[in-house]
With several copies, the nearest count.
Chain A
């Protein structure tokens, strides 16, 4: 699936988007896989309560299943308007 990062999550990880081959069952499983990769991921995902996630461009929860998902995005709380 495609994994996207925005705002300071993008800055900490250093890339806006990457292809991730994962068999993670839920968003939180994916977060744990990413955390284990490198320090920059561990830093970005240090506190998931400070993050939001979207699955296929809809806001979702961290316990949401990833079955059949094409795109997951991680970002801080939004500050539009």
Chain B
């Protein structure tokens, strides 16, 4: 299990390949990658603030819950903070399990909890100014299925 909170970019390809090759018993590897997207046009940057100390604790706790709840061999969470531009990778999770159902469900669980329970806050910078991204009700609702 590895948790990384960093400003530096990461390479999805390298991380996915390294994660998959480290597994000796897993037939199924799932990855999720979040990318900065310009939904309404004019996005110049995405700034991500976090709570140093609590962030690592929260991500470790969420990943450990996933490991306990599903038959996982391994889990990976990488989340960036700082200033990102359109097209940059914000974060990724990866899960490895014998069966695909465990790998998929655990990856979705990690994403749902990470979205609403890890202390990150996004701010969008456009030509018109800056605005904090509002939490979505559907992200909070997504937790109810677990």
A interface vs B, CB < 8 Å?
4, 6-8, 54, 57-59, 73, 75-81
Q: Note all chain B residues with C-beta closer than 8 A to A54.
A: 51, 54, 119
Q: Note all chain A residues with C-beta closer than 8 A to B115.
A: 78-81
B121 at the interface (CB under 8 A from A): yes
Q: Note all chain A residues with C-beta closer than 8 A to B49.
A: 6-7
B interface, size bucket: 20 to 34
- Name the contact of A59 in the complex, choosing from B34, B117, B132 (C-beta under 8 A): B117
- Name the contact of B121 in the complex, choosing from A4, A57, A75 (C-beta under 8 A): A75
A73 vs B58: C-alpha distance when bound (angstroms): 14
A43 vs B133: C-alpha distance when bound (angstroms): 19
B91 at the interface (CB under 8 A from A): yes
A sample of 24 inter-chain contacts (CB < 8 A) reads A6-B51, A7-B49, A7-B121, A7-B123, A57-B51, A57-B53, A58-B57, A75-B119, A75-B121, A77-B116, A77-B140, A78-B115, A78-B118, A79-B115, A79-B120, A79-B132, A79-B134, A80-B115, A80-B119, A80-B120, A80-B121, A80-B122, A81-B90, A81-B115
